[in-house]
Amino acid sequence: MNNTFEEIKEALQYCQSIAIGGHQNPDGDAVGACFALAYALQKQGKNVSVILEEFSNKYDIIADKNLLLPKENYSNTAFDAFIALDSGDKQRLGEAQQIFDKARQKINIDHHISNTYFGQYNYVNSDASSTSEIIYQYLRDDAIFNQQIASALYAGILYDTAGFRHSSTSPMTMTAAAELMTYSIPANKIYTTFFDNRTFSELKLLGRAFEKAEKYFNGNVIYTFLTQQDIEQCCGTSKEVDSVVNFIKGVEGIKIACFIYQKGENEVKASFRGEDGFDVCKLAQNFGGGGHIKAAGCTIYSTIEQAWHNIQLKIAELF
């Protein structure tokens, strides 16, 4: 099912204008992989645009925002190729789907196990720690790395492995990180920016989410949530709640962690983390979502209460 890197490079050879896009609510891996590949293709003489939704200013350290295509141009711009990165399915591209559909060559590079192979060319490796690690492998033989590309790739890998902590961190991951570090990247600054620095509103939101956390299923499951009102009262945004689920997962004895936040009147986002033996990707797929075996998520069109009720019914099947 996978194409080779050579086949993808060949397909791109005859494309001059290239769009690179990642999933909605872009995380460090999506931003890192998109910008790294954009810098590299630009260096190879292509006209490149990055198509990403607004992202946290944590990633400003690796993102040249001049490359971003403004949203008002989505409907009137066409590209020779669209490279979708870190998106398990086409819908995850959000509004960028229209640009993807119009592109002559549609390429899908990703590491989500739930990937639907929605491109004309596909490269999916669910053993890779991150899409950034795949892009590292993709670019490695082109002798094109510089400080800018290496910083973005390193940041993406660092983000998706939570600082080389997740079990997806392999010897290959560390080899990639080690080589990328040789390009005098600000490795320390990236780490601090991603994992230690937070806004005051993020701190408040974490506090509120922790306060509301409860254990279920004989202490095996932990759950908490934030309403739109919580987010407003903490003067925060939904971009600042990503770390909640990782924190609550750390509680002793927890097998599955679930965090839900309200996106709209009848729309919520649920995130899951699981221990070995608990496939939260399957759990998320029950609700049209996906991700990785140990980290996954989905969007549910209901109230928070109803969503949590339905999720519990599916969690019950796992015990």
Residues of the shown chain interacting with Mn ion in the complex, contacts defined by CB under 5 A: 29, 86, 130-131, 160
Nearer to Mn ion, 88 or 236 (CB): 88
**Closest distance between Mn ion and the C-beta of residue 111, in Å?**
6
Nearer to Mn ion, 89 or 160 (CB): 160
Burial status of residue 73 (CB atoms within 10 A of its CB: 0-12, 13-18, 19 or more): exposed
Nearer to Mn ion, 119 or 236 (CB): 119
Pick the closest to residue 26 from 69, 72, 57 (CA basis).
57
**Closest distance between Mn ion and the C-beta of residue 133, in Å?**
9
Nearer to Mn ion, 131 or 169 (CB): 131
Separation of alpha carbons 159 and 194, rounded Å: 7
**Closest distance between Mn ion and the C-beta of residue 168, in Å?**
9
Nearer to Mn ion, 25 or 262 (CB): 25
Nearer to Mn ion, 130 or 193 (CB): 130
Task: State the residue number with the nearest CB to Mn ion.
Answer: 29
> Contact, 39 vs 149, CB < 8 A?
yes
**Closest distance between Mn ion and the C-beta of residue 130, in Å?**
5
**Closest distance between Mn ion and the C-beta of residue 131, in Å?**
5
Residue 63: CA count within 13 A, CB half-sphere: 26
**Closest distance between Mn ion and the C-beta of residue 13, in Å?**
27
**Closest distance between Mn ion and the C-beta of residue 127, in Å?**
13
Nearer to Mn ion, 125 or 220 (CB): 125
Separation of alpha carbons 133 and 127, rounded Å: 10
